[in-house]
Structure 1
Amino acid sequence: MQIDHIYMYKLIPDIGLMVLIWLVQLIIYPSFRYYNPNNLKSWHRPYTSRITVVVLPLMLSQIVISIILLLISNWSSYYIIDSLLVLLTWVLTFVIFVPLHQNIDKNQEASASVSQLIKYNWLRTILWSLIALLSIYKTLIVN
C-alpha cells in the first residue's frame, strides 16, 4: 500500500478529532458551568464514559497511522512533525485533562477544574486543528 493511500485514511481521525474538539471547546465544556456541583458530578461520569467511546478510537487510530506513516516514510521531517503533534495531544490529555476530569468526578474544586478545562483545552483545539489542516493539505493539495 502506498504512503498516499495510508494518508487518506488518516484524514478520518484527524478531521473527526478536529470537529469533536471544537464541539467540546465551544459547547460541552462551557455547558459544565451551568450545573451545580452535585448535578455536574452526577452527569460527568456518564459524559466521560460516553465521550471516551468516541474519542479513544479516533485517538488510537490517529497515533497508529501517524507511527506507520513515520516508519514507512523513513522518518521524513513532515511525518516526524505530524507524529510529534499527535504525541503532544496524548501527553496533554493524560497530564492535564484526565486529572481535571478526575477532580470533577471527586467533586474537588469542580468549578476551578471546569474553568481550567475551558482555558487549557485551547491547546488541544489548536493542535488537533493544525493536525487536521496539515493532513488536508498533505492529502488533498500536495498529492
Structure 2
Amino acid sequence: MLETIRLICDSGLLVLIWMVQLIIYPSFSYYKNEDLFQWHSSYTKRIAVVVIPLMIAQLIISMVQVFTTPDFNSILYCLLVIGAWLSTFVMFVPLHENISKERDVEKSIKKLKLHNWLRTVLWSLIFMLTCYLKFTSL
C-alpha cells in the first residue's frame, strides 16, 4: 500500500515539475510586469494546493521507509527527497518572493528557468528509483 502511494506521489510530482519546467516558468517571460504580478499571485496559491500535499506525503513516506527498512534504496530515496525539499525552500521560495514583491523580476525569472533543472532532475530520479523498485520486485 505504501509503495502505491509513493508511486502516485512521485508520478504526480514528476508530471508537475516537467510542466513547470517546460511550460509555466518559460511563460513568465511573456507577461507584462503588471500582468505577471497578478498571475503569479494566483499561480503560487493554486499550485501550492497541489504541490504541498504531494511533497509532504513524499517526505513522510521517505522517512517511514528509511526507518523501517534502512537499506541503500531507502536512504537514497530519502536523500533525493530531502534534496528536492532543500532546493525548493532555499532557492525557489525566495525567487518567487522576489517576483511577488516586484524585486529583481527578470533576474528571478531567469534563475527559476535555469535552476529548476535541479528539481526536474531530482524528481525524475526519484520517480525512476520508485519505478525500478516497484517493477523489479514483481
TM-score (norm 2): 0.97
Is 2:28 the counterpart of 1:32? yes
Superposition misfits of 4+ residues, deviation over 3 angstroms? none
Task: Kindly tell me the number of residue pairs found equivalent between the two proteins.
Answer: 138
Equivalent of 1:131 in 126, 132, 135? 126
Q: Following superposition of structure 1 onto structure 2, how do residues 113-132 of structure 1 map, counting pairs within 5 Å?
A: 113-132=108-127
The whole-number CA distance in structure 2 between the counterparts of 1:121 and 1:11 is 22
RMSD: 0.8
Q: Which residue does 2:94 correspond to in 1?
A: 99
Q: Is the 8 A contact 1:85 1:131 kept in 2?
A: yes
Is 2:43 the counterpart of 1:47? yes
The whole-number CA distance in structure 1 between the counterparts of 2:55 and 2:65 is 15
Instruction: Point out where structure 1 has 5 or more consecutive residues left out of the alignment.
Output: none
The whole-number CA distance in structure 2 between the counterparts of 1:99 and 1:27 is 21
The whole-number CA distance in structure 2 between the counterparts of 1:26 and 1:137 is 25
TM-score (norm 1): 0.94
Q: Is the 8 A contact 1:7 1:69 kept in 2?
A: no
SS at match of 1:39: helix
Equivalent of 1:20 in 16, 24, 34? 16
The amino acid of 1:108's aligned partner reads R
